[in-house]
Homo-oligomer: A and B are copies of this chain.
Amino acid sequence: MAKVGFIGLGIMGRPMLGNLLKAGHEVVAYGINAAKLDACVTDGAQRGTSNRDVAARSEVVFTMLPDGPEVEQAVLGEDGVLAGARAGTLVVDMSSINPLVSQKIGAACAEKQVEFVDAPVSGGEPKAVEGTLAIMVGGSDAAFHRAEPLLKAMGSKVTLTGPIGAGNVTKLANQIMVACNIAAMGEALSLSTRCGLDPQVVLNAVKGGLAGSTVLDAKGPMLIGRNFKPGFKVRLHEKDLRNALLTAEANHVALPLTSLVQQMLLSLLSEGKGDLDHSAIATVLEKLSNVTIERPS
C-alpha cells in the first residue's frame, strides 16, 4: 500500500480520496476549506497543513482542483507541492484543465526530477462515489504504470492516451462531443416540437438508429421532463469548452460547432444558470426559437 497525498477535497475529491482509503492506502489530505478537511480526517485521512506538507509526507500526490490556475498555484506556487516533493515523487493531476497548463506543470516537475501525469476523469459525482470513473491519462509509460494501480481504486477504466497533456486533450474531445450532441438534440427537438410532434415520441422513434447516443438516452428525458438538476454543471462545461478553444487556438485548429456551443453556454451563464445541468444547452436553442421542448398537455 502506498503513502499518498490528496489535494482538493470538493464534490469529486472527497469521494475519490475515500476510495483510496478503502483500498487500504495511507492518505494525507489538504484543502483550503477547513470544514472539508475535517470531514476527510473523519473519513480516515491524515491532516495535511499545506500543499508542501502533503508532498513532503507522500510518495504520490493527487490534485483535484477546479481549473488550471488553481493547479498551477497548488503545484508550482509558494508552499506548493514542488516545494515539498523529493526527486522521484509522482504528481497526478486529476483536474480537468487546459492541456497546455498540464505541459507547463509537467516541465516544471521534470526540472526537479518529479514525475507528472495528467489524469482527468469523466463520470461525475456518482461515479466518483462508486469508484467507477473513466480516467484518461497523459504521461510517460513508466509514470502511467506507477499511477495505474492507485487510479484503479477510483476508476473502472484507466487509459493512457499519450504524453503529458494527452489526458486533458482526450477529456476535451469528450466534452466537445457531449456538448455538441446536446445542442444537436436541442435543434432536432425544437423543430419537432414546433411542428406539433411529441418530443418523447420522436426520441423513441430515432434512438435505436444512427442518431442514437448516450446523450439522447441520458439527457433527452431530463430535457423533456424539464429537470435540469445537475449532473454536470453548465459552468464546468463552459470552462471545458473554453479550454478546448484555447488549446485549439494554440494549435491552429478551427472548431466552428464547438465555438458556437460555447457561446450558448456563455448565454446560460449570463442568465445565472451556471449551476443547471449541461442539458440546459438545449434551452438556449428553445429560447432562440421561442419553443419549449415538452410533451403536449
Contact = CB atoms under 8 A, between A and B. Distances in A.
Nearest to A290: B252
Q: From DSSP, what is the main secondary structure of chain A's interface residues?
A: helix
A201 B161 contact: yes
Contact of A210 (B122, B206, B251, B254): B122
A181 B260 contact: no
Most buried by B among A192, A210, A216: A210
The number of chain A residues touching the other chain, given as a range, is 35 or more
Contact of A244 (B191, B194, B213, B232): B191
Interface in A222-252: 232, 244, 247-248, 251-252
- For this chain, the copies found in one complex come to 2
A33 to B, nearest CB: 28
Contacts of A190: 253, 255
A177 B163 contact: no
Contact of A253 (B247, B253, B291): B291
Interface of A: 99, 122-123, 134, 136, 157, 159, 161-163, 165-166, 169-170, 172-178, 180-181, 183-185, 187-192, 194-198, 201-202, 204-206, 208-216, 218, 232, 244, 247-248, 251-258, 260-261, 285, 288-291
